[in-house]
Amino acid sequence: MSYNGVPTQKHTLANAITRFSKKAGVHRIRLHALRHSHASLLISMGENPLIIKDRLGHEDIETTLVTYGHLYPNSNFEVAHKLEGIMSYQTATQNEDTSPKNQFTARYLRKGLETNNAITMR
């Protein structure tokens, strides 16, 4: 960042942030925090995580998603709304699955078989 091709001094940006935050009457934000604000803004705008990864200079997408994944809480709802209505189905009138999937189903089926056997023996 330079106006004349010469690199700026180490504290130039930090001093500018301090000066302008005082003028604006807002809390001073650290330079590194601007990075997080930038990423948060892009996420709220719906920007692709791969583009955010590139802008932040992360080596892999996992770093970006681990750091900013909590900012995507409603993504699942958005996907669900997109999928809503694309499949049609009919409600089952009878359960055709007789395989014992767990202990409760197995116990229920055994009771049903015992009842059926008792009825046929009579």
What does the buried/exposed string (b/e) look like for 34-57 if buried means 16 or more CB atoms within 10 Å of the residue's CB?
A: eeeeebeebbeeeeebeebbeebe
Q: Where are the domains of the chain?
A: 33-82
Q: What is the pLDDT of residues 34-55, one digit of tens each?
A: 899 999 999 989 899 999 999 9
Q: Please, how many CA atoms are within 13 Å of residue 62, restricted to the half-sphere of its CB?
A: 0
Q: How many residues does the chain have?
A: 122
pTM of structure = 0.53
Per-residue pLDDT of the chain in tens (122 residues, 90 and over written 9) = 677 888 888 888 889 899 999 999 999 988 889 899 999 999 989 899 999 999 999 999 999 999 998 888 777 777 788 888 887 778 878 877 776 666 666 666 667 655 555 555 45
Contact in structure between 17 and 28 (CB atoms under 8 Å): yes
Nearest one of 31, 9, 8 to 20, comparing CA atoms: 31
